[in-house]
Amino acid sequence: DEEEEEGQDAAESSGGSEEKEEVPEQEGGEEASPAPGPPEEERWDLRHVYSAGEIRARAAACMGLDGKCDSVACSRYVSTLDEDYVWDTCVDCQETDYGGWPEDEYPVDHITDEHREVIAEMCSKVENPNMPNLPSVPPHPEAPGAAGLHVTAGGGGPPAAGG
């Protein structure tokens, strides 16, 4: 008994408490879930830049202009609220829907000159479209920041579309 009292005294003096937060009961004696926090704001993250080969093969059609855009998609964005909710987009619709290419976060570490030409030719209707701010050659593996890069542009096919 003395040890229990000493433990309680120590918890009280340190400001700690082992009391469980009370949760209101629902009908039938079940505890209700605590109120959820504010809803998370949806963002769209660029997750895939289609390779030159994927673009040539028309791997994904642009979903912009309410599905009426007839360009080939160069990019795939994914909702932060639902990983299965994807949006394939061409350069022009990407400008309208997302304000262009991201400033700094890409799922690739470089885009070759050939890849840029294919994007400009097949994924845009404007002359000299906005291109991603990426080097044309891969960074040296020992370059600062190179260790965390994920290369997917040359990879084997588009990400699986869910839903």
Q: pLDDT digit string (tens) for 54-78? A: 999 999 999 999 989 999 999 999 9
Which whole number is the average pLDDT over 114-125?
95
Whole-number pLDDT of residue 109 = 87
Task: With cut-offs at 50, 70 and 90, classify the pLDDT of residue 35.
Answer: low
Whole-number pLDDT of residue 136 = 87
Whole-number pLDDT of residue 118 = 96
Which whole number is the average pLDDT over 78-92?
95
- C-alpha 111/C-alpha 131 separation (Å) is 10
Which whole number is the average pLDDT over 135-140?
77
Q: Does residue 162 carry a pLDDT above 50?
A: no
End-to-end CA distance of the chain: 60
Whole-number pLDDT of residue 39 = 73
Phi, psi (deg, nearest 5) at residue 72: -85, 140
Strand positions, DSSP E, 26-160: 44-49, 75-79, 86-89
Q: Does residue 52 carry a pLDDT above 80?
A: yes
Among 27, 117, 125, which Cα is nearest to 69's?
125
Whole-number pLDDT of residue 1 = 54
- C-alpha 119/C-alpha 90 separation (Å) is 8
Strand order in the sheet with 44-49: 44-49, 75-79, 86-89
- Tokens (6 digits) for 15: 């400001």
**Higher pLDDT among residues 114 and 14, named by residue:** 114
- Tokens (6 digits) for 40: 């998370």
- C-alpha 54/C-alpha 158 separation (Å) is 8
Whole-number pLDDT of residue 21 = 45
Cβ-contact 86, 76 below 8 angstroms:
yes
Averaged pLDDT of the chain: 75
**Higher pLDDT among residues 158 and 12, named by residue:** 12
